[in-house]
Amino acid sequence: MTDIEIINKVKSGELKYFKELVDRYKDKSFSLIVKILKNRNESEDCLQDVFMKIFNSVMSSSFEEKSKFSTYIYSIVYNSAVDYYKKYRKKNFNILSIDVTNSNYKTGDELTSYFDESMIDKGLYSQGIEFSPEKSLSQNEISVIINEYINNIPEHYSVILNMFYINDLSHDEISKILNLPIGTIKNRIFRAKNKLKELLLKRMTAEELLEYV
Amino acid sequence: MFELNLNFLNGAKMNEGNIEDFLNKRIQDSLHTGTSDEFSDEVMKRIKLSLEFAKEDKKTFKFAGMISIAVIAVMSVLSYFIGSSIVISSGDEESSGFGILKSVYTYLSDLAAEILSAIGISGTGDSLLYLIIITFIIILFIAADKLILGKRN
């Protein structure tokens, strides 16, 4: 059943179909909110509010079928998470890095300045893995490195990565939701992936990495 | 010779492509976070509750509307009754309860006339008194309305 078919069923009073919509979008939306709020409980509260808003907009027919329903949902999810952040953290959430205003800024600088590679070693250590440059990395070690990297990169990268990889939004759709130039979106995805590749290739050769592909 | 070079380039490109695919897949896995198992049920419960509250609110609003109309009607009837009784009671004012009302009315009317002359406006005390009564009724109505709407929200 398509999203629009579900919406029509809900509008006609068959409420149980809304659960299908919730099940369809809850995890992907939750992933996005967690990248902003960085707290599971707060993210669940915020996501509940999001689904209430979506339900009300479905019932009041304020969703126009001109845009994709998924894009509509994720723009509500993003804006609600940012509002929640501002309300409860009493700070502004800025998808632009503060470094952008600096005259010496080069796109991607913040990845180097924010991300500390010792986090990866800490992550490996907490899993009882001791890294040795002589031996090749195991599948488990690669997972730890990637998870540590993704969990620690600044939110102006992780939000865009989530929208692209999890929410299946195009560069253009992300650019519209975040109100950022499309070039910035492409650049951040490229740099985030490149940095990860760099980190992995520091610890293993391309041939070794290819063994896991 | 050319073919050999192309094969080499194709192989490198393929490896590069495989690494890209591998990274894309692993980034996707790492980014993914799931909600708790009972999340959907919680949302549905909240929606059902909000619909019940909306139904209750509708009933309360209807009831509040009826009460407002009744209060306005009672106030209008009462104003008319008091107004007429003041005029009628001029004869036996000493013996009836209306006598007290009349003296209060006369006092307020005189006070209003004095206020009017003090601020330099010509007119009877009655007109200011009517104005005060109307303002009082409006304030009373707004207060009642806010009380009802406040409860509704």
pLDDT of amino acid A101: 42
Distance CA A31, CA A163 (A): 9
Question: Which range is least confidently modeled, B34-43, B76-85, B138-147?
Answer: B76-85
Residue A182 lies in a domain: yes
Residue A159: CATH number of its domain: 1.10.10.10
Full residue range of the structural domain in which residue A134 is found? 104-210
Judge if pTM exceeds 0.95.
no
Residue A131 has pLDDT above 60, yes or no: no
Do residue A65 and residue A110 come from a single domain? no
Q: How confident is the model at residue A165 (pLDDT cuts 50, 70, 90)?
A: very high
Domain annotation covers residue A134:
yes
B91 vs B89: CA distance, rounded Å: 5
What are the residue ranges spanned by the domains of chain B?
A: 1-32, 57-153
Q: What mean pLDDT value characterizes chain B?
A: 76
Listed residue (B34, B18, B14) closest to B26, CA to CA: B18
Tell whether B38 lies on the interface with A, counting CB pairs under 8 A: no
Residue A98's pLDDT is what?
38
pLDDT at A160 over 90: yes
Q: How many helices (H) and strands (E) does chain A have?
A: 11, 0
Confidence band (pLDDT; 50, 70, 90) for A24?
Answer: very high
Phi, psi of A81, rounded to the nearest 5 degrees: -65, -40
Q: Are residues A69 and A135 both part of a single domain?
A: no
User: Is A180 found in the same domain as A154?
Assistant: yes
Confidence of residue B36 (pLDDT cuts 50, 70, 90): very high
Residue tagged 């540590």 (tokens): A148
* pLDDT band for position A106 (cuts 50, 70, 90): low
Q: What letter would DSSP give residue A102?
A: S
Averaged over A3-25, what is the pLDDT?
92
Does A45 fall in a domain?
yes
Using 50, 70 and 90 to split pLDDT, how confident is the model at A153? confident
Q: What is the pLDDT of residues A73-105, one digit of tens each?
A: 999 999 999 999 988 887 777 766 533 444 444
Instruction: Give the residue with greater pLDDT, B95 vs A164.
Output: A164
Task: With respect to residue A151, please indicate whether it lies within any of the assigned structural domains.
Answer: yes
Asked if A147 reaches chain B (Cβ–Cβ under 8 Å), the answer is yes
State how far the Cα of A135 lies from the Cα of A125, in Å rounded to an integer.
16
Task: Choose among B23, B36, B39: nearest Cβ to A193.
Answer: B23
pLDDT of B129 strictly over 80: no
Q: Does A126 share its domain with A179?
A: yes
Closest CA relative to residue A209, chosen from A149, A146, A137, A158: A137
User: What confidence score (pLDDT) does residue B99 get?
Assistant: 66
Asked if residue A96 is part of any domain, the answer here is: no
- Residue A143 counted as domain residue: yes
Residues in B closer than 8 angstroms to A210, CB to CB, are 15, 18-19
In sequence order, the 6+-apart residues with CB closer than 8 A to the CB of B99 are B89, B92, B93
Distance between CA atoms of residues A99 and A86, nearest Å: 20
Residue B138 confidence (pLDDT) above 60: yes
- Pick the more confident residue, B44 or B58: B44
pLDDT at A156: 85
Q: Please answer whether residues B19 and A213 qualify as being in contact, where contact means their C-beta atoms are separated by less than 8 angstroms.
A: yes
**Helix, coil or strand: residue A5:** helix
* A54 shares its domain with A24: yes
Q: Domain end: A89, A119, A139, which one?
A: A89
Computed over its alpha carbons, how large is the radius of gyration of chain B?
A: 40
Sign of CA dihedral A130, A135, A141, A142: positive
A151 and A55 within one domain: no
Q: Residue B150 and residue B153: Cα distance in Å, rounded?
A: 5
Residue A49: which pLDDT band, with cuts at 50, 70 and 90? very high
pLDDT given at position B65 = 84
Residue A54 near residue A73 (C-beta atoms within 8 A): yes
For residue A176, is pLDDT > 90? yes
Considering the domain boundaries, does residue A53 fall inside one?
yes
> pLDDT at position B9, please?
60
Residues A112 and A205 placed together within one structural domain of the fold: yes
A16 and A80 inside one domain = yes
Q: Does A119 touch chain B (CB under 8 A)?
A: no
A98 in any annotated domain: no
Higher pLDDT pick, A201 / A176: A176
Q: How far apart are CA A33 and CA B50, in angstroms?
A: 24
Choose between A37 and B145: higher pLDDT: A37
Mean pLDDT value across residues A27-53: 95
Residue B35: count of CB within 10 angstroms of its CB: 23
Tell me whether residues B27 and A150 touch, CB distance under 8 A: yes
Q: Which pairs count as long-range contacts for A118-122, CB under 8 Å and 24+ apart, including other chains? A: A119/A148, A119/A152, A120/A144, A120/A145, A120/A148, A120/A149, A120/A199, A122/A148
- Residues A150-179: what's their mean pLDDT? 92
A186 touches chain B (CB under 8 A): no
Query: In this complex, do A210 and B15 lie within 8 Å of one another by their Cβ atoms?
Result: yes
CB B15 within 8 A of CB A206: yes
Question: Count of domains in chain A?
Answer: 2
Provide the pLDDT for residue B85: 64
Domain boundary among A29, A61, A89: A89
d(C-alpha A183, C-alpha A195), whole Å? 18
Residues B86, A213: Cα–Cα separation, whole Å: 100
Q: Does B31 have pLDDT greater than 80?
A: yes
B6 touching chain A per CB within 8 A: no
**pLDDT band (50, 70, 90) for residue A152:** confident
Cα B119 to Cα A4, B122, B123: the distances in Å are 69, 9, 11
Kindly report the average pLDDT of chain A as a whole number: 83
